[in-house]
Amino acid sequence: MDWQALESCIPLDELPAFHRAFLQRLEPGEDWQNAFLRRVQGKVQASLKRLLREGAAGYEEGRYWLDAALVPEAFKVYLMEE
């Protein structure tokens, strides 16, 4: 699944919730719901790079590619729009 394409399908006002839910899937022990947005945004980018290093993501022509299983359930509806 193309990460950037998915982000572009999600309404702008829902992106912070999407990013927080994504991080919660990756790091369930952290309280991402109350984290500052700037920290969340930075952590999303760092997490994408970490997934790439671990072989759980791909990167081609400036775009991250991830398994759709990493998308939080509440946002899987946007996969259909991608």
| Cα–Cα distance list, 4 to 28, 35, 62 (Å) | 23, 22, 9
> Quick one: pLDDT at residue 80?
80
> Quick one: pLDDT at residue 51?
97
Query: What is the helix (H) or strand (E) element at residue 65, kind and residue range?
Result: strand 63-66
- Under a CB-based contact definition with an 8 Å cutoff, are residues 19 and 75 in contact? no
What is the spatial distance between Cα 4 and Cα 32, in angstroms, rounded to a whole number? 21
Q: Which residues on neighbouring strands pair with residue 42, listed in sequence order? A: none
Q: Where are the domains of the chain?
A: 3-80
Q: What is the mean pLDDT of each run of 10 residues along the chain (82 residues)?
A: 96 97 96 96 97 96 95 93 64
